[in-house]
Chains A and B, each alone.
Chain A
Amino acid sequence: MAKGESVAGSDIPAGGFVQLLTPDGERVDTVTTADGTTYSVDFTDEEYRGLYRDLVTVRRLDSEAVALQRQGELGIWASLLGQEAAQVGSGRALRPQDMAFPTYREHGVLYCRGIDPIMPFGLFRGVDQGGWDPNEFKFNTYTIVIGSQTLHATGYAMGVTMDGKTGSADGEAVIAYFGDGATSQGEVNESFVWSGVFNAPIVFFCQNNQYAISEPLERQTRVPLYRRAGGYGFPGIRVDGNDVLATYAVTRAALDNARNGQGPTLIEAYTYRMGAHTSSDDPTRYRIASEVEAWKAKDPISRLKAFLSKQKIAKKDFFAEVDAEANKQALDLRERVLAMPDPQPVTLFDNVYPNGSPEIDAQRTAFTEYQASFEGSAH
């Protein structure tokens, strides 16, 4: 087991990021950055196997969603393929009281938060607004607008501060997810300014998957993204986003800092979007095949599988069982998606005001009558 080395004059270790599991499945014991922070994980065998199960499951469910879109059952889908470790590592690092603000791609974090994976499908199928109770699961609804959730998260984090829920080991922390492209958005920069100035208990978790749709990283920044944090007055760190262990360690530490009142951290999870930006996109038009091949060798799942095998933490039947179980869940998901009912048009009026309003009630009545004026209507 190797010991990670740090590079003088840099706040990140050799290799450019914190890594605890190499692509070959070798475990790095600890990594110490130049500022003296040491990262490591101490998992039981059961926990290691659990992480593996998470990764395989979220990938399998995602592939089913991609197929459903191609079959005309979803309007669009944003695949997480390649980013499983970044999502599961950070998602599992959250403590129950922590609040997460996702983009539209955080299916893996959603899974880790214990939300039924079917929940976002209503949105992508166009039969509901994709809602769940953010307070119940401590996971906000998907945000389609690029970067705006960082402002929501910052506001929420300010609320946590005002409620006096920071400053102790069981305090609350907030995490905001976004991508490399979003770092060029005003909202994200405003969030950085505000959070830095007010020491908000927030972790900015950037999954740098190298492309903002077709726009490569070099069009977003001249410096590594994590270094942006320095300009706003809080620490930034880069982690191997395809390493579930390192992502867990770095996110857990940043969240704990936030809950303890140490303010924000920017985490750049260095990863790669193996699939298309969304099902409407064709990545072969702007990426070369050799680049994709190179990233395949860094696959988050195969490296954990190699580690589990070498360390004899898991055997063949375990892997087969996980695959079979994930497959079962995927087929179950498919059936439930296909069975999603069409919404009645009148439900349009349901979620406008929590307690209704005379204006909306009148519109609902008029619309119901209009609907009933057609033959064969259910009314």
Chain B
Amino acid sequence: MSRIKKFNLPDLGEGLTEGEILAWLVKVGDTIELNQPIVEVETAKAAVEIPAKWGGVVTRIFHEAGTVVEVGHPIIAIDTEPGSPLPDSPAPAPAAAPVSAPAPAAAPAADEAEAGLIGGPAPGGRTAVLVGYGPRTTSATRRPRIGTPTAPTTAATAPTPPPAATEVRPAEPVGPANGAVRTGPVLAKPPVRKLARDLGVDLAAVKGTGPSGSVTREDVHLAVAAPAQKPAPVAASPATAVFDASREQRIPIKGVRKLTAENMVASAFTAPHVTEFLTVDVTRTMKTLEKLRKRREFEGVRISPLLLVAKAVLLAVKRHPMVNSSWSGATGEIVVKDYVNLGIAAATERGLIVPNVKDAGRLTLRELAEALNELVRTAKSGKTPPADMSGGTLSITNVGVFGIDTGTPILPPGESAILAFGAIRPTPWVHKGKIRIREVTTLGLSFDHRIIDGELGSRFLRDIGSFLEDPEGTLLSWT
């Protein structure tokens, strides 16, 4: 029927609800063939390419790369008969939108997903749900029962309670809530029934807003509160009017954000943190880096100050093994590790992750440089395997890349120390008795005070600082 067809994001892997557009492989105006890859989408399970469902010309792309799209929502529109003139307003529906104009509200009816296809309307007013899009949660309208009033069917799609609950009247006879019907007994779960009984609420008189018009716990509470509130013009208050919900963005807490939050809270409230700061002159570190870059052994590998900071940490750990440990409350032990799985906090598009270089103390400097580069590259591309994120023993967070002097880092769970490495700035500094412009940075070390006393933490941080002030001399005297 309709020649401009919208393609909705399918459920790509058994019960997924959303996917992130990673990259578009086509653009508006492109001529595409059936099954030609058009877009890369990443779901919780996999990153996959989606092949075009129809050949034709791309008339609209609904979401830019980086957008998270809910399953069942359109992502691309394709004109399946390009070249032929658009039909002059076919009988019932408004004509399809002009191809050139990607109007936001393009022709609602004509370029809907076709009737009979998944996600599209099916005969009888039902939503065709085969497989692929899963049950619709947003607009699952139910066919009304024969012989019941049909007017308020839309109520089912509006789970938001009426403003200020002024519509709830316990005493009035109940109208057909939700279009699904109150001919039989009231629908409510047993705990809700008990709640209603305890509060003296007659369930039959409560308007249900739950699935199929069932009465929810909130409905019962609302029914109790309603009589008293009746005259109160809550919604009219100017304060609430200014800060209404339309000016708030609600971001679901999930994925990396959720995990990060859980880890941070767990860490902050189990390990008593202490943070110490040290400002150091790293001019010599920068010079050493220059020398390393010119050496044959480091040909082809990117070297950054982070490399020598990592080296400093690894060498300092050798001198103070106790900092590389974890608190095992369950067994009543402190586990001191002979290996350093060096975590590097990385800001990625998906949020904070802390992958680690396994047994970093055993690597040569070049190997360490390669491992760090690889770690960061993998993290940025979002392909860090779970194994790289577990088992860290000690971490570095490089806040300097954001132009920040330092911070008080929070320990990754299970680790006892984390070093924040700030921005390196040319700074007036007393050097050999005179004020000189030197390259200076600030280090911040947080440690678990259950294991590491102030003295140990200070010595550890001081050693890192010593190394960065004079890497070559320190290396020779320590080894």
The answer to whether A76 and B124 have CB atoms under 8 Å apart is no
Q: Tell me whether B51 and A75 are in contact (CB under 8 A).
A: no
Rounded to whole angstroms, the CA-CA distance of A98 and B210 in the bound complex is 56
Please name all residues of chain A whose beta carbon is closer than 8 Å to the beta carbon of B130 when the two chains form the complex: 125-127, 342
CA distance A55 to B110 in the complex (A): 42
Asked whether A377 is an interface residue with its Cβ less than 8 Å from the other chain, the reply is yes
Q: Once the chains bind, are A282 and B146 in contact (CB under 8 Å)?
A: no
Which of the candidate stretches B3-11, B250-258, B407-415 sits at the interface with the other chain? B3-11
Known: A76-B14, A373-B145, A378-B124. A70 touches B118 (CB 8 A): no
Binary contact track B14-50/A, C-beta < 8 Å → 1, others 0 = 1000000000000000000001000000000111111
Considering only residues 52-100 of chain A, those with a C-beta below 8 Å from chain B are 64, 67, 69-76
Out of B8, B14, B126, name the residue touching A75 (CB < 8 Å): B14
Q: Contact between A376 and B125 (Cβ–Cβ < 8 Å)?
A: yes
Does A276 lie at the interface of the complex (its beta carbon under 8 Å from any beta carbon of B)?
yes
Q: B8 — nearest CB in chain A belongs to which residue? A: A72
Chain B nearest CB, measured from A377 CB (Å): 7
Those of B318-366 within 8 Å (CB) of chain A: none
Inter-chain contacts of B142 with A (CB < 8 A): 374
Query: A375, B385: Cβ atoms under 8 Å?
Result: no
Taking a contact as CB atoms under 8 Å apart, the answer to whether A72 and B49 are in contact is no
Instruction: From B45, B124, B130, B144, name the one whose CB has the most chain A CB atoms within 10 angstroms.
Output: B130
Contact between chains at B144 and A374 (CB < 8 Å):
yes
How distant is the Cα of A69 from the Cα of B118 in the complex, in angstroms? 12
- Does B459 belong to the interface (CB within 8 Å)? no
Contact A281 B143 (CB under 8 A): no
Q: Kindly identify which residue among A276, A285, A375 contacts B144, using a CB–CB cutoff of 8 Å.
A: A375
Selected from B13, B35, B144, B383, the residue in CB contact (under 8 A) with A279 is B13
Complex contact B11–A282 (CB within 8 A): no
Q: A377 contacts which chain B residues (CB < 8 A)? A: 124, 143
Question: How many Å from the CB of A289 to the closest CB on chain B?
Answer: 12
In this complex, the member of B35, B124, B126, B142 whose beta carbon has the largest number of chain A beta carbons within 10 angstroms is: B35
CA distance A72 to B385 in the complex (A): 28
B462: Cβ under 8 A from any A Cβ:
no
C-alpha gap A342/B127 in the complex (Å): 11
Interface size of B by Cβ–Cβ distance < 8 Å?
36
Task: A77 to B170: give the CA distance in the assembly, Å.
Answer: 52
A10 at the interface (CB under 8 A from B): no
Residue of A nearest to B385 (CB): A285
When the two chains form their complex, are residues A70 and B14 in contact, meaning their CB atoms are under 8 A apart? no
Residues in chain A near residue B146, CB distance under 8 A: 373-375
Asked if A38 lies at the interface with its beta carbon under 8 angstroms from chain B, I say: no
Within residues 90 to 131 of chain B, which ones have a CB less than 8 A from any CB in chain A?
A: 118-119, 122, 124-126, 128, 130-131
- The answer to whether A282 and B45 touch (CB under 8 A), given A67-B35, A67-B51, A378-B124, is yes
Q: Are B131 and A375 touching (Cβ within 8 A)?
A: no
Indicate if the CB atoms of B128 and A342 lie closer than 8 Å.
yes
Residues of chain A lying within 8 A (CB to CB) of residue B145: 373-375
Q: Which residues of A contact B447 (CB under 8 A)?
A: none
Chain B residues lying within 8 Å of A375, measured Cβ to Cβ, are 143-146, 150
* Cα distance A375–B130 in the bound complex, in angstroms: 21
Q: Which of A265-304 contact B (CB under 8 A)?
A: 276, 279-282, 284-286
- Given A127-B130, A373-B146, A276-B46 contact (CB < 8 Å): yes
Q: Is B467 an interface residue (CB 8 A)?
A: no
Q: Given the complex of chains A and B, what is the CA–CA distance between A86 and B46 in angstroms?
A: 27
> Which A residues lie within 8 Å of B144 (CB)?
374-375
In the bound assembly, the distance between CA atoms of A70 and B41 in angstroms comes to 10
Is B53's beta carbon under 8 Å from chain A? yes
Complex alpha-carbon distance, A279 and B16, angstroms: 12
CB of B12 closer than 8 Å to a CB of A: yes
Min CB–CB distance B50 → chain A (angstroms): 5
List the B residue with the shortest CB-CB distance to A340: B130
Report chain A residues within 8 Å CB of B14: 75-76, 280
Chain B min CB distance to A63 (Å): 8
Q: How far is the CA of A127 from the CA of B129 in the complex (A)?
A: 10
Q: Which of the listed residues B14, B122, B133 has the most CB atoms from chain A within 10 Å of its own CB? A: B14
How far in angstroms is the closest Cβ of chain B from A109? 24
B10 touches A70 (CB 8 A): yes
Min Cβ gap A333→B in Å is 12
A72 and B45 within 8 A (CB): no
> A72 CA to B6 CA in the complex, in Å?
13
A342 and B122 contacting across the interface, CB-CB below 8 Å: yes
CB of A87, distance to nearest CB on chain B (Å): 23
The answer, yes or no, to whether B82 is at the interface (CB within 8 Å) is no
Given contacts A376-B124, A376-B125, contact A73 B132 (CB under 8 A): yes
For the complex, give the distance between the alpha carbons of A73 and B143 in Å. 25
In the bound complex, residues from chain B placing their C-beta under 8 Å from that of A286 are: 385
Chain B, residues 128-160, CB within 8 Å of chain A (1/0): the string is 101111000000001111100010000000000
Tell me whether A71 and B46 are in contact (CB under 8 A): no
Q: Cβ of B385 and Cβ of A71 under 8 Å apart?
A: no
* Residues of A13-70 whose CB lies within 8 A of B: 64, 67, 69-70
Contact B47 A75 (CB under 8 A): no
Against B, the Cβ 8 Å flags (1 = close, 0 = not) of A349-371 are 00000000000000000000000
Chain B hits for A281, CB < 8 A: 13, 45-46
Q: Which residues of the other chain, B, contact A342 by a CB distance below 8 angstroms?
A: 122, 128, 130
Q: Please, what's the 1-or-0 string for A162-200, where 1 marks a CB less than 8 Å from any CB in chain B?
A: 000000000000000000000000000000000000000
What's the Cα separation between A64 and B385 when bound, in Å? Answer: 30
**Residue from A67, A76, A126, A276 having most chain B Cβ neighbours under 10 A:** A67
- Asked if B124 contacts A74 (CB within 8 A), the reply is no
Q: How far is the CA of A374 from the CA of B385 in the complex (A)?
A: 51
Residue numbers in B under 8 Å from A279 (CB-CB): 12-13, 48
Q: Is the CB of A72 within 8 A of B51?
A: no
Q: Could you tell me the distance between the alpha carbons of A69 and B119 in the complex, rounded to whole angstroms?
A: 15
Alpha-carbon separation in the docked complex, A293 to B228 (Å): 73
Please measure, in the bound complex, the distance between the C-alpha atom of A73 and the C-alpha atom of B383, giving whole angstroms: 28
Q: Which of A64, A126, A280, A284 has the most CB of B within 10 A?
A: A280
Residues facing B in A93-152 (CB within 8 A) are 124-127
How distant is the Cα of A64 from the Cα of B49 in the complex, in angstroms? 14
Q: A126-B131, A377-B124 are in contact. Are A282 and B46 (CB under 8 A)?
A: yes
Identify B143's interface contact among A124, A125, A282, A376, CB under 8 A: A376
A285 to chain B: which residues have CB within 8 Å?
Answer: 46, 383, 385
| A residues near B49, Cβ cutoff 8 Å | 70
Residues in A whose Cβ lies below 8 Å from that of B126: 376
Inter-chain CA distance A281–B14, complex, in Å, is 10
Residues of A with C-beta under 8 A to B53: 71-73
| Contacts A282-B45, A375-B143; A72 near B128 (Cβ below 8 A) | no
Contact residues in A for B12 (Cβ distance below 8 Å): 69-70, 279-280
Nearest-Cβ distance from residue A169 to partner chain B, whole angstroms: 46
Asked if B11 contacts A72 (CB within 8 A), the reply is yes
CA distance A67 to B33 in the complex (A): 13
CB-contact partner of A74 in B51, B125, B132, under 8 A: B132
26 A-B pairs within 8 Å (CB atoms) are namely A69-B12, A70-B49, A70-B50, A71-B51, A71-B53, A72-B11, A74-B132, A75-B14, A75-B131, A76-B13, A126-B130, A127-B130, A279-B12, A280-B14, A281-B13, A281-B46, A282-B48, A285-B383, A342-B122, A373-B145, A374-B142, A374-B145, A374-B146, A375-B146, A376-B125, A378-B124
- Chain B contacts to A: CB under 8 angstroms: 7-14, 35, 45-51, 53, 118-119, 122, 124-126, 128, 130-133, 142-146, 150, 383, 385
List 4 additional A-B contacts (Cβ < 8 Å) besides A276-B46, A282-B48: A75-B14, A285-B383, A374-B143, A375-B150
3 smallest beta-carbon distances between A and B, as pairs: A72-B10, A282-B46, A75-B131
